[in-house]
């Protein structure tokens, strides 16, 4: 599991109840990472919140809603490789995420 902090809890879809929605500033733990080809984004599953059938078509939270600590990036990349079945280039992932330089 990879610790992360929610940095964006805006634009909650109507079919996701408040009880299953992320809150800005709260810490969560990423358990799985997936790529949504139709939407062209990375999604994550969280230990603390489990989206169910009532939330469809949503089955994960957009990765761009979360910040990952620099110290946890190696673990994140390892989990990403396991989830995707391939070694991933960090640049490919960062196209989804805004980075302060």
Among 23, 29, 17, residue whose Cα is nearest residue 56: 17
Confidence at residue 101, expressed as pLDDT on a 0 to 100 scale: 40
Segment 57-98, tens digit of pLDDT: 888 999 999 999 999 998 998 898 888 776 555 565 565 555
Average pLDDT, the chain: 85
Confidence at residue 40, expressed as pLDDT on a 0 to 100 scale: 74
Burial letters 60-93, b for 16+ CB under 10 A, else e: bbbbebbebeeeeeeebbebbeebeeeebeeeeb
Query: Nearest 5 degrees, angle CA 100-CA 58-CA 86?
Result: 65
Look up the pTM and report it: 0.80
């Amino acid at each position: 599991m990879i610790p992360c902090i929610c940095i964006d809890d805006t634009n909650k879809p109507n079919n996701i109840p408040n009880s299953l929605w992320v809150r800005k500033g709260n810490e969560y733990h990423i358990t799985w990472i997936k790529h949504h080809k139709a939407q062209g984004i990375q999604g994550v599953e969280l230990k603390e919140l489990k989206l169910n059938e009532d939330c469809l078509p949503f089955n994960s939270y957009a990765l761009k809603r979360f910040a990952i600590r620099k110290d946890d990036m190696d673990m994140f990349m390892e989990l990403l490789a396991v989830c995707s079945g391939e070694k991933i280039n960090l640049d490919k992932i960062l196209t989804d995420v805004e980075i302060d330089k």
